[in-house]
Structures are given as structure tokens and as C-alpha cells.
Amino acid sequence: MQIKMVGLDLDGTLLNSKKELTPFTKEVIAKAIEKGVHVLVATGRPFTGVPLELREFPGMRYALTANGARILDTATGEILIEHLLSKESAKKALEITEKYDTLQEIYFDGQGYAKDEKLAHVERYHKDCNMWEYVRASRIAVLDIWELFNSREENLDKV
């Protein structure tokens, strides 16, 4: 049996504990691609949250992002498949999570947004210190998550 495709999760799988791609891992990915295997990132992150070296990895043509909400052709930027979260379902999730001390995040078109005061204290919500800077750098801080949610008409990538 010949392997035709490999989907790779990032955190805790492809990336090491420091959120880095090791030289050995790069070599293995390159060898698989050379053999004709379609290697793709399969992650909960939006595409912009995928490390640049993976977004531009030679021969890595596709990415499954946002927990499966979007599959795209990385060479062209074309969205091949999209299954977004309805505003109604997203609203229910936000209503439930606001009852607890959580870092609520909403995503539109691959961009994450989070309440500014909670984002400033991300260490309360993510125990992995290697994630803190990534989270701060990849989300846009907003004063009111509900105001942003209500100002947008489109469905969401994820909550």
C-alpha cells in the first residue's frame, strides 16, 4: 500500500515543545514530498497562525485549517472547501463561555480576535508558556467581543 497523503497536526505533533520545526522533521517532510506524498498541515489554527516555514515549505501545497473549517491551496491562496460556523451557533457558544473565566476568541476570515484585558493575561488561560507569545501575536485585541461579533454579518471560522 502506497501512502498518498499525510495530514500533520502542529502543536504537540509536528512542532516540538518550543513550537519549532526541527531539522530532522523538515528532512522527513521533504523526503515524503519527493516520493509524491501530499503532505499538508491539519490544524486548529488559521492559516496565518501556521509557522511561515510551513506555509512556504517547498512542495507542501494544501492546508486544512481552523479545525477543518477551511481547506486551501497554499500555492494560489484559493479556498477549496469551507465549512463555517453559523452566527447562530457561534452566538450560543459565546453565551455559554461568557459564564466562565475563559479567553473567548472569535475568528473571521482567518483572523482571531480576543478581549484586550484577557489577552494581556493569556498565561491564565494557556498553561504552555510557549503558546503565550504566539497567542498574543496572532490575535487582535478588542474592547468588546460582542460588539465585534454583532458588527459582522458573515459566518465565523471558529469560536
Task: Give the residue numbers marked as catalytic.
Answer: 9
Residue 89 near residue 116 (C-beta atoms within 8 A): no
Residue 71 near residue 43 (C-beta atoms within 8 A): no
H/E run at residue 53: helix 52-55
CA distance 21 to 70: 23
DSSP calls for 71-127: EEETTT--EEEE-PBPHHHHHHHHHHHTTSS---EEEETTEEEEEHHHHTTGGGT--
